[in-house]
């Protein structure tokens, strides 16, 4: 950035002035706890039931320090002050929009094809959306930095740019140089959110995460999640990584006890060194299965190219028309329906998304699930 970055200039004034909700538990968390109108007689669960040990009659820790301490060593940032925890990344998307965008006035920028929740949350918050499509030529799925810069200069009220890397549905990691160019764009009058929900599916050797850039750039927020590589979509834990000033604003704005005690005890366990190793070995297995799935799928008649870089735990596959010449939306939709309704295999139709003409997005399953998918997809593709 050539201009001096000023957080005060881009945050909603009511959020800057916010006096956050404080509970006694922010200051004291042990002793005889008579501060929060909990049920001092305990929960309705029997002692000895697996969950009763987690003090469920108490409100959860509002700050979740032990989880953040594990994240400090896992992601290599200087302190817990760089981390925010939310109810999935989805809560963080909404929170960031509420922090930076004045409803009816400010805008976000997205780069289609991209994850749908950025637009949904913007619409809920009455925030308009500027779209600068990715360069989709040959399934490149990379940023058009010049067009983004132009959009920024034409729309000074863009407060957030949402980038998804690796992208959903593109499965493609964005170039670090392009992300850097946007962070440093003199026309940028807001923050850049880099959604790294699928980052751990990339080879570690590619040094893929930009989380550590939070130390260098005052205007980056990286989002990660336990939903994908850690296999814990059900516990709803999303992670925001940014400089301590932005994290403080996020903490001020969140609901006081947003991360519940069950989630928090499971997340702490998931982030132990042993389980991080396990996550790494599972993501490697998924990579192996992905390669096998790709080589089987392209052999089916009616399948076109697998597009994108396949950096995540899914693939984006073109369904061709009956003459096998070009991608075909209607056929893709019909294959999608047949798979779900006759064969019990549910994939995602993405064939109407920009740059994803006639595509299905298919998550890598277990070896048995992938075998079934290939068999049933073959049947669904047969021309009647």
Rounded least distance, CB 227 to ligand PLP, Å: 3
The 3-state secondary structure of 334-364, one letter per residue? HHHHHHHHHHCCCCEECCCCCCCCCEEEEEC
Tokens at 81, concatenated: 């002050």
Rounded least distance, CB 6 to ligand PLP, Å: 28
Regarding 115 and contact with ligand PLP (CB under 6 A), the answer is yes
β-strand partners of 361: 316, 348
User: How many chain residues interact with ligand PLP (CB under 6 A)?
Assistant: 12
Among candidates 87, 107, 26, 92, which has minimal Cα distance to 59?
26
Regarding 84 and contact with ligand PLP (CB under 6 A), the answer is no
Strands (E) across 34-171 are located at 83-86, 107-110, 128-131, 158-164
Q: Are the C-beta atoms of 261 and 58 separated by less than 8 Å?
A: yes
Q: Which distant-in-sequence residues (6+ apart) come within 8 Å of 40 by Cβ?
A: 33, 34, 57
Strands (E) across 90-154 are located at 107-110, 128-131
CA separation for the pair 186, 83 (Å, rounded): 27
Output 124 or 379, the one with its CB closest to ligand PLP: 124
Rounded least distance, CB 233 to ligand PLP, Å: 6
Rounded least distance, CB 93 to ligand PLP, Å: 7
Regarding 189 and contact with ligand PLP (CB under 6 A), the answer is no
Regarding 233 and contact with ligand PLP (CB under 6 A), the answer is yes
Phi/psi zone of residue 220: left (φ > 0), alpha (ψ -120 to 50 degrees), beta? beta
Regarding 90 and contact with ligand PLP (CB under 6 A), the answer is yes
Regarding 195 and contact with ligand PLP (CB under 6 A), the answer is yes
Rounded least distance, CB 69 to ligand PLP, Å: 20
Output 187 or 227, the one with its CB closest to ligand PLP: 227
- The dihedrals phi and psi of 275, each to the nearest 5 degrees, come to -75, -25
CA separation for the pair 232, 271 (Å, rounded): 11
Classified as helix, coil or strand, 110 is strand
Q: Running DSSP on this structure, what letter comes out for residue 199?
A: G
- Within residues 165-184, the interface with ligand PLP by CB under 6 A covers 168
Q: Is 34 exposed, middle or buried (0-12, 13-18, 19+ CB in 10 A)?
A: exposed
Rounded least distance, CB 308 to ligand PLP, Å: 13
- What is the per-residue binding string for ligand PLP in 126-165, x denoting contact by CB under 6 A? --------------------------------------x-
Regarding 240 and contact with ligand PLP (CB under 6 A), the answer is no
Regarding 317 and contact with ligand PLP (CB under 6 A), the answer is no
Output 90 or 328, the one with its CB closest to ligand PLP: 90
Regarding 238 and contact with ligand PLP (CB under 6 A), the answer is yes
* Among 86-94, 145-153, 183-191, 259-267, the segment contacting ligand PLP (CB under 6 A): 86-94
Regarding 225 and contact with ligand PLP (CB under 6 A), the answer is yes
* Among 4-12, 34-42, 83-91, 360-368, the segment contacting ligand PLP (CB under 6 A): 83-91
Q: Using CB under 6 A, list all residues that contact ligand PLP.
A: 88-90, 115, 164, 168, 195, 197, 225, 227, 233, 238
């Amino acid at each position: 950035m050539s201009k001096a970055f000023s957080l005060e200039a881009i945050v909603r004034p009511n959020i800057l002035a916010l006096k956050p909700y404080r509970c006694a538990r922010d200051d004291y968390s042990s002793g005889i706890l008579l501060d929060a109108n909990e049920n001092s007689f305990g929960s309705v669960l029997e002692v000895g039931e697996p969950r009763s040990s987690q003090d469920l009659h108490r409100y959860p820790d509002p700050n979740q320090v032990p989880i953040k301490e594990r994240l400090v060593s896992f992601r290599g940032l200087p302190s817990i002050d760089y981390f925010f925890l939310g109810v999935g990344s989805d809560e963080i998307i909404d929170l960031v929009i509420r922090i930076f965008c004045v409803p009816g006035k400010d805008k976000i920028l997205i780069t289609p094809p991209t994850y749908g929740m950025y637009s949904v949350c913007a619409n809920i918050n009455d925030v308009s959306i500027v779209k600068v499509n990715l360069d989709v030529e040959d399934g490149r799925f990379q940023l058009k930095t010049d067009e983004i810069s132009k959009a920024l200069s034409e729309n000074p009220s863009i407060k957030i740019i949402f980038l998804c890397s690796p992208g959903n549905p593109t499965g493609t990691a964005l170039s670090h140089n392009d992300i850097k160019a946007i962070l440093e764009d003199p026309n940028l009058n807001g923050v850049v959110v880099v959604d790294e929900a699928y980052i751990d599916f990339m080879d570690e050797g590619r040094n893929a995460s930009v989380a550590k850039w939070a130390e260098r750039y005052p205007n980056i927020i990286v989002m990660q999640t336990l939903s994908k590589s850690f296999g814990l979509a059900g516990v709803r834990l999303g992670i925001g990584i940014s400089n301590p000033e932005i994290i403080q604003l996020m903490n001020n704005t969140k609901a006081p006890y947003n991360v519940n005690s069950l989630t928090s005890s499971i997340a702490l366990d998931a982030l132990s060194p042993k389980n991080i190793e396990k996550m790494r070995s599972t993501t490697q297995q998924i990579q192996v299965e992905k390669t096998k799935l790709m080589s089987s799928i392209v052999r089916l008649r009616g399948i076109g190219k697998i597009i994108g870089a396949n950096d995540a735990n899914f693939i984006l596959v073109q369904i061709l028309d009956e003459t096998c010449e070009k991608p075909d939306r209607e056929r893709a939709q019909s294959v999608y329906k047949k798979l779900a309704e006759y064969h019990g295999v549910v994939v995602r139709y993405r064939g109407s998304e920009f740059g994803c003409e006639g595509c299905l997005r298919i998550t890598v399953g277990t070896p048995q699930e992938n075998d079934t998918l290939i068999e049933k997809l073959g049947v669904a593709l047969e021309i009647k």
